[in-house]
Amino acid sequence: MSRFLTAALLLGQTFAYDTVLGFNSRPLVETRTIEEIYNAALKEGGTVTVWHGGDEKDQQDSLKSAFEERFPGMTLNITVDLSKYLDGEIDQQLYNNNVFVDSIILQTLQDFPRWQQEGALLNYAPVGFDKVYSAFKDSISASWYGYSIFFWSISWNTAKLPNIKNISSYSDLLKPEFKNKLVLTYPNDDDAVLFAFYQIMQQLGTKWFDDLLKQNPRWVRGTATPLTIVSGANYSQSATFTSFGGFNPGKNVNISFPNDAEFVTWPQTAAILKNAPHPESAKLFHNFLLSSDHQKTVPLSVRKDIDSSESPYRNIMNTPHTNPTTFAKFMSDRVTVERLRFYFENRLGSAQGLSPLIDDI
């Protein structure tokens, strides 16, 4: 396929990601100390219910432990499931006027401006909100904001690939030594992975994808699954670019970032539902998320005043070969998303296997 046709296939409309000012949008700006909010949360009952996007049930156990250790007597009930399923269930709660979740943290970034316009979110600015990059938040209503930058990197197992010293590009993965060695998430099953393929093919064309298929990659559901397989000694696959493992993904696993196309970064975004049953507990949780202490523990901070000390990319807004604001625009353009989804489904077939939350590989 020519590069002209590639552009026609891959280039969709560009949508602005500005939020329309909704009803009663003036936010409550938090002025209390964290201890005052903590005491209010304990008096409320000491429980906060959070739904977090992800594809393994235990992915946010460390967040639960950190919150409960910081605030004894508090209980964080956190449920992890695919964002594309959780957002529909939130819509059902809103439609039935039966909200039982306090806080939501999702990958479906297009939902937050819609919910804000519908008046479904609490307009509340935690301490530290003013330090969050403006591109990652609703600056007017303070109804939603990123709390951590997620990203896909190239990851490979050095024990399985002892002769590979570095992988500097997506084109490297087309070399003979990666034949039958790749494991990848279906792009038609996860919009962030879909965006990864979209960006690569904008730079390298559909021929890159044709050549990738000749490498006979293993296709799986879930973005945690590829890293599990790459890390496991019992699997032959040894490299992926559709998993998030942070900057220290585990024993024998190295990561790198490509120099021939953009890689995906985005702010995983959080909000409190306006009719949350535990509003003070939710406020405590969100103040914890944006606190300087917690932001220093995430791989890439959303706060412009905090360096991510473990990251080689301390300032995400000036990191080469990525733009953390573009995923939100992509997610808002559902016409392009659906068109691309069916393009890949036509090439790969529908995603096979159970949900990664119940599939043990």
R_g of the chain computed on alpha carbons: 21
Domain at 153-263+329-348: CATH code: 3.40.190.10
| pLDDT at position 224 | 92
pLDDT for the residue numbered 312 = 57
Helix 279-290 to helix 61-70 angle (10° resolution) is: 100
* Residue 311 or residue 86, greater confidence: 86
Top-tier CATH class for 28-150+266-320: alpha beta
Q: Name the pTM for this structure.
A: 0.90
pLDDT for 20 equals: 44
Tell me how far apart the alpha carbons of residues 143 and 132 are, in angstroms, rounded to a whole number: 13
340 has pLDDT over 90? yes
Q: How large is the average pLDDT for residues 319-342?
A: 96
Domains 28-150+266-320 and 153-263+329-348 share a fold: yes
How far out from the chain centre does Cα 45 lie? 30
The pLDDT score that the predictor gives to residue 22 is 46
Mean pLDDT of the region 250-275 = 95
Residues in the chain: 361
Q: What is the mean pLDDT of the segment spanning 128-145?
A: 97
**Which of 64-68, 343-347, 357-361 is the least confident region?**
357-361
Q: Which of the two residues, 338 and 58, has the higher pLDDT score?
A: 338
Assess whether pLDDT exceeds 80 at residue 25. no
Q: What is the residue extent of each domain of the chain? A: 28-150+266-320, 153-263+329-348
pLDDT per position as a tens digit, 167-225 = 999 999 999 999 999 999 999 999 999 999 999 999 999 999 999 999 999 999 999 99
- pLDDT for the residue 56: 86
Does the structure show a pLDDT above 70 at 277? yes
Q: What percent of the chain has pLDDT over 90?
A: 81
> What does each C-alpha distance from 158 to 165, 166, 346 come to in angstroms?
8, 10, 34
Asked if residue 265 has pLDDT above 90, the reply is yes
Report phi then psi at 48, rounded to 5.
Answer: -130, 135
Q: Does residue 10 carry a pLDDT above 70? A: no
Give the pLDDT confidence score for residue 18 in this predicted structure.
41
How much is the pLDDT for 8? 43
What pLDDT does residue 351 have?
93
Q: Would you place residue 299 in the very low, low, confident or very high pLDDT band (cuts 50, 70, 90)?
A: confident
- Give the residue-averaged pLDDT of 271-285: 98
Is 105's pLDDT higher than 80? yes
- Percent of the chain predicted with pLDDT > 70: 89
For residues 132 and 19, which has the higher predicted lDDT (pLDDT)?
132
In this model, does residue 238 exceed pLDDT 80?
yes
What pLDDT is recorded for position 29? Answer: 97
Structure tokens at 256: 């790198």
Measuring CA to CA, how many Å separate 13 from each of 164, 189, 334, 337? 39, 22, 10, 11
Give the strand order in the sheet containing 47-53.
Answer: 75-81, 47-53, 103-106, 265-272, 145-151
Residue 247 pLDDT: 85
